[in-house]
A and B are shown apart, each in its own frame.
Chain A
Amino acid sequence: MMIRVALAGNPNVGKSVIFNNLTGSHQRVGNWPGKTVEKKEGVFRYDNEEIYVVDLPGTYSLTAHSIEELIARGYIVEERPDVVVVVVDASNIERNLYLVLQVLELGAKTVVALNKMDLAEVSSLYLDARKLERLLGVPVIPTVAPKKVGMDELCRKILEVARTKRQVVKVRYGNEFEEAIGKIERQLEGDKALEAYSTRWLAIKLLEGDEAVIKKVQRAASGGKVLREVEEIRKALKRKHGDLEMALINERYRVIKYIVERAVKGEKVLTASDYLDQALLDRYLGMPIFISILWIIFQFTFIVSMPFSDILSDIFAISSERLAGITGIARVDYLLFGEYGVLNGVGMVLSFVPLIMTLYFTMSLLEDFGYIARAAFLMDKVMRKLGLTGRSIIPMILGFGCNIAGVYSTRIIPVEEDRIVAIVTNPLMLCSARLVTFVVIAAAFWGSAAGSVVLSLYILGIALAVLVALVLKRSVFKGRVSPFIMELPPYQIPSLKVATTQMWVRASLFFKKAGTVILLGLLVVGLLATTDVSTLSFTQDIERSLVATIGHALQPIFAPLNWDWRLVVATVFGFIAKEIVIGASAMLYGVSEEEFSNFLALHYDPVTMYAYMVFVLVYVPCVATIAAVKHETLSWRWAVFTIIYEIVLAYALSLVILLIGRTFFPGV
C-alpha cells in the first residue's frame, strides 16, 4: 500500500524546497479542482516503500476562512493522509506553532519538520527538538532544507509514524475548555455518521461555532440533540470568555508560550536583514531606491545583452546568405532564406534571446533577495489611493518579464475582486516580447535617447494599468480595499544558481516558442507572401501575393494611424506572439535586421512610430496570456473583456498621440 503524506505549513517556511527534496523530479503540478490554487503532488520511494506526497497550500491557520485554508483542512479531514508533515520555520517558531496545534487538533498523525535551523541560530534562537517533541507528543525533526539536512531522518520518521496506530498528543488547553471539549466529545461518541472524524476536533470546532462542522453534525442522527447541548455549554463559557473562537485562539497562544518558554533558549535579536530594512523601507529613501533599482535592472539588461544580440544578428545574416540555394528548390529556398524569408524573421526574434535571459536573471536575483515583498510594502500607500492593495505591485513587476507569469502570480492577492483587477490590467505591463519590437524601433528613430523612449512606454503601461484599475474599482468592484497584512521574510543572499537556472529555463522556453508558435506564425506569413493571389502559384512579387491582398483589405481600418499594409499584417499576426510583430515586419519589408533601422527611418516619421509603439504596447494580449487570463478568472468573460478594452484603448490612444504629435511637430 502506498503511504500518503500531506505537507502543511505557513507560507515562506521552505515547504516547497522540502517537497522538491523528497520527490525530486517526480512531481506533477496542477490545480486543486475548480480552484486557482496550485496543487503539487509527487511520489518517491524510501526503504522499499512507495510514498505519495501532496503539498498543501501555505496557510497560517486552518479555520475555514480562505480558499487555501479550506483546501488544506478539507484534504486532511476528508482524504485522511497517513501522515501530515508540518513544516515549521524554526526562526519564527512561536507563530508557526499555531498551525502545528491546529493540525494536532485534527487528530491526524503528525511529524514536525523544524526547518531553517541555521537561520534560527543567526537570530540567536536555540531550539531543543527533544523537548519540543516531549511537549507536543509528536516527532520533531530539525532540518535545513536547501542543504538537505535532516531529510533522511524525516523520511524515516514518516514511515515510522505511518506504521503506528495512533499518537498520544500532549497538547491540552485550560481546564474549563478541556471540560467543555470532553462533554461535547461524549455526546458525539457512537454516532456512525461522524465516526470518520476525530471527536476532539469536532468538539473544538463546535465550541468555536464553526459553520462547516455544525452543518456536518446537523446531518448526523444525533445532530439535533448534540447541537442543543453544545449551545448550553457555549453559553456558559461565553459569559466568562466572550467570543469563543477568539478565546480558543488565545488559549492556543497561551499553550505555545508555555512550550516556547521550555524548549527555546535565547531571544530573537535584530539581524542584518532588519537593519537593511531600515534603509530600504525608509519613508523618504524607500521610493527613490525602488525606482533606482528598477532603472538599474533596465540599464543593466541592455548594456549586458546588446553586444551578444549584435553578434547573434550578424550570425543570422551570414547564415541567411550562406544557406541561400542550399535546398535547390527555388520556391522553398526563397521562402526560407530569401529577403522575405522566414529565417530573416526568426533570426530577428532570436537575436534578442540575450536580452530576455539577462532580464530574467536580474529579476530572479531581486526576487530571491526578498526585495519584491518590500516593493509591496513601499507601494501600499500609493496603491491604496487607487483602491488596490500593495500586493498588486508584485504581479506588475513580474509582468515586465512575461504577462503570463504576471497573471499567475496574482494568486498572492487574497481578495477576489482585487485579483481580477490585477489580472486584466497585467497585459498592460510591457513584457519582454514587446520590448524586442520597441528596442528596434526606438533605436531607429531616437538613437542614443532610445532608452528613455522605451522607458516612457513602461511608464505609460503602468499609468494605463492604474487608470483601468481605477475605473474598475469605481464601477464594477465597488467594495472596500482589503486590509494589507503581509509577512516580510528576511533578506537572503540571492542564489546565482537559482538565477542561472531561471535564465536557462526562460531561454529554453523562448527557443521552444521560437521553434513552434513564432516559426509557425512566420511561416504562415511567408507562405502568404509568396503565393500569388490570382493563380495561387509561387510568386516573388510580394505586391501580388495573398498577404498583400489581406493587408490591403485591412489597411483602411488603420489608415488613420498612417500604417501601410505590411505593418498592418505584422501587427495582426503579433496576436499569436508579440515577437512576431518585429519578425514579420522584417520579412514583409524584405530587409535584414541591420538595414531594418535605416529602412524604418526612411519610410516612417517619429510621431507615427511612437503612436505605433503605443498601439503595440496596449493592443490585445497574446494568445497564451489570454489563455492565462481565462484560466485564472475561471471564465471567458474577463478574457473577452481584456481583449476588447485593450483594442479600443490602443486605437484611441494611438490616434490621440498622432493628432497631438501632428499639432506640435507639424514638420515631421
Chain B
Amino acid sequence: MSAHSSRYNRIIPLTLLPDGGKGIVRKITGGFGVRRRLYELGFTEGTEVYVLKSAGPGPVLLLVRGSRLALGRGVAMKILVEVVT
C-alpha cells in the first residue's frame, strides 16, 4: 500500500476491526494513565495492530509488536486505528 493512498483510509476505534483485521494506531484517547500504559506496551502511533479475536462484547485479543495482548473492550475503544486494507 502506498503512502498517499493510506491518507484516505477510515479511522475507527480498534473494537470495530473484525477478526483478522489490521490497523495502524493513529491516536489514543482517554486518561493519561491508560494512555501511558498502552504506549509502554507498544501501542505508539504508527504501530500496526492485528486483531486475533474480537469476541462480541468481551475483550479483544491483539498481536502488537509480536506480543499477544488482551484488552478490555473499554480500553480498546480508546485506540483509534486507520484501517489497513
The answer to whether B58 touches A98 (Cβ under 8 A) is no
The answer to whether B44 touches A253 (Cβ under 8 A) is yes
> How long is the Cα–Cα vector from A63 to B68 in the complex, in angstroms?
22
The answer to whether B52 touches A487 (Cβ under 8 A) is no
Asked if A153 lies at the interface with its beta carbon under 8 angstroms from chain B, I say no
The answer to whether A95 touches B36 (Cβ under 8 A) is no
Tell me the count of chain A residues lying within 8 A, CB to CB, of chain B: 43
> How long is the Cα–Cα vector from A63 to B64 in the complex, in angstroms?
21
Residues 544-596 of A contacting B (Cβ, < 8 Å): none
A258 → chain B closest CB, angstroms: 14
The answer to whether A98 touches B42 (Cβ under 8 A) is yes
B56 → chain A closest CB, angstroms: 4
Contact of A377 among B40, B59, B75 (CB under 8 A): B59
Given contacts A253-B44, A378-B58, contact A487 B68 (CB under 8 A): yes
A157 → chain B closest CB, angstroms: 25
> How long is the Cα–Cα vector from A483 to B32 in the complex, in angstroms?
13
Given contacts A61-B40, A63-B40, contact A484 B66 (CB under 8 A): no
Residues 472-512 of A contacting B (Cβ, < 8 Å): 481, 483-490
The answer to whether B39 touches A249 (Cβ under 8 A) is yes
> How long is the Cα–Cα vector from A95 to B61 in the complex, in angstroms?
16
Q: For residue B52, which residues in chain A have a CB less than 8 angstroms away from its CB?
A: 274, 277-278
Closest to A274 in B: B52
The answer to whether A283 touches B58 (Cβ under 8 A) is yes
Q: For residue A488, which residues in chain B have a CB less than 8 angstroms away from its CB?
A: 61, 68-70
> How long is the Cα–Cα vector from A95 to B67 in the complex, in angstroms?
7
> How long is the Cα–Cα vector from A370 to B38 in the complex, in angstroms?
23
Max chain A Cβ within 10 angstroms of own Cβ: one of B55, B69, B74: B55
Closest to A488 in B: B68
The answer to whether B41 touches A95 (Cβ under 8 A) is yes
Range class of the B interface residue count: 35 or more
A-B pair count, CB < 8 Å, reads 115
Q: For residue A61, which residues in chain B have a CB less than 8 angstroms away from its CB?
A: 40
Given contacts A92-B66, A483-B74, A488-B61, contact A281 B53 (CB under 8 A): yes
Q: For residue B70, which residues in chain A have a CB less than 8 angstroms away from its CB?
A: 376-377, 380, 484-488
Residues 17-47 of B contacting A (Cβ, < 8 Å): 19, 32-42, 44-45, 47
The answer to whether B61 touches A277 (Cβ under 8 A) is yes
The answer to whether B44 touches A250 (Cβ under 8 A) is yes
Contact of A253 among B42, B66, B69 (CB under 8 A): B42
Given contacts A281-B55, A282-B55, A483-B34, contact A60 B69 (CB under 8 A): no
Contact of B59 among A246, A268, A381 (CB under 8 A): A381
The answer to whether B68 touches A283 (Cβ under 8 A) is no
The answer to whether A483 touches B42 (Cβ under 8 A) is no
> How long is the Cα–Cα vector from A107 to B36 in the complex, in angstroms?
23
The answer to whether A95 touches B59 (Cβ under 8 A) is no
The answer to whether B69 touches A485 (Cβ under 8 A) is yes
The answer to whether A250 touches B45 (Cβ under 8 A) is yes
Asked if A65 lies at the interface with its beta carbon under 8 angstroms from chain B, I say yes
> How long is the Cα–Cα vector from A484 to B37 in the complex, in angstroms?
11
> How long is the Cα–Cα vector from A488 to B52 in the complex, in angstroms?
12
> How long is the Cα–Cα vector from A243 to B67 in the complex, in angstroms?
26
- B64-85 interface bits toward A, Cβ cutoff 8 Å, 1 = contact, 0 = none: 1111111111110000000000
Contact of A245 among B34, B36, B38, B66 (CB under 8 A): B36
A473 → chain B closest CB, angstroms: 16
Asked if A28 lies at the interface with its beta carbon under 8 angstroms from chain B, I say no
Closest to A414 in B: B37
The answer to whether A483 touches B36 (Cβ under 8 A) is no
- A55-88 interface bits toward B, Cβ cutoff 8 Å, 1 = contact, 0 = none: 0000011010100000000000000000000000
Asked if A406 lies at the interface with its beta carbon under 8 angstroms from chain B, I say no
The answer to whether A65 touches B65 (Cβ under 8 A) is no
The answer to whether A286 touches B55 (Cβ under 8 A) is yes
A640 → chain B closest CB, angstroms: 33
The answer to whether B59 touches A380 (Cβ under 8 A) is yes
> How long is the Cα–Cα vector from A93 to B42 in the complex, in angstroms?
12
Max chain A Cβ within 10 angstroms of own Cβ: one of B57, B65, B69: B65
> How long is the Cα–Cα vector from A172 to B44 in the complex, in angstroms?
19
The answer to whether B41 touches A380 (Cβ under 8 A) is no
> How long is the Cα–Cα vector from A436 to B76 in the complex, in angstroms?
44
A88 → chain B closest CB, angstroms: 12
- A263-293 interface bits toward B, Cβ cutoff 8 Å, 1 = contact, 0 = none: 0000010000010011001110010000000
The answer to whether B72 touches A487 (Cβ under 8 A) is no
> How long is the Cα–Cα vector from A268 to B47 in the complex, in angstroms?
15
The answer to whether A60 touches B40 (Cβ under 8 A) is yes
Q: For residue A249, which residues in chain B have a CB less than 8 angstroms away from its CB?
A: 36, 39-40, 44
Contact of B39 among A92, A93, A250, A384 (CB under 8 A): A250
Contact of A94 among B33, B39, B65 (CB under 8 A): B65
Given contacts A249-B36, A268-B66, A277-B52, contact A485 B41 (CB under 8 A): yes
Asked if A338 lies at the interface with its beta carbon under 8 angstroms from chain B, I say no
Asked if A351 lies at the interface with its beta carbon under 8 angstroms from chain B, I say no
Q: For residue B66, which residues in chain A have a CB less than 8 angstroms away from its CB?
A: 91-95, 123, 125, 268
Closest to A253 in B: B44
Given contacts A283-B58, A378-B58, contact A485 B42 (CB under 8 A): no
Residues 433-489 of A contacting B (Cβ, < 8 Å): 481, 483-489
A629 → chain B closest CB, angstroms: 27
Q: List 23 A-B contacts (CB under 8 A).
A: A63-B40, A65-B33, A95-B41, A95-B66, A125-B66, A246-B35, A249-B39, A250-B45, A268-B66, A278-B52, A283-B58, A377-B61, A380-B59, A381-B59, A384-B72, A481-B74, A485-B37, A485-B69, A485-B71, A486-B69, A487-B68, A487-B70, A488-B69
Report A's interface with B, CB cutoff 8 A: 60-61, 63, 65, 91-95, 98, 123, 125, 243, 245-246, 249-250, 253, 268, 274, 277-278, 281-283, 286, 376-378, 380-381, 384, 389-390, 481, 483-490
Given contacts A253-B65, A274-B68, A488-B69, 5 further A-B contacts (CB under 8 A): A95-B65, A253-B44, A483-B75, A484-B71, A490-B68
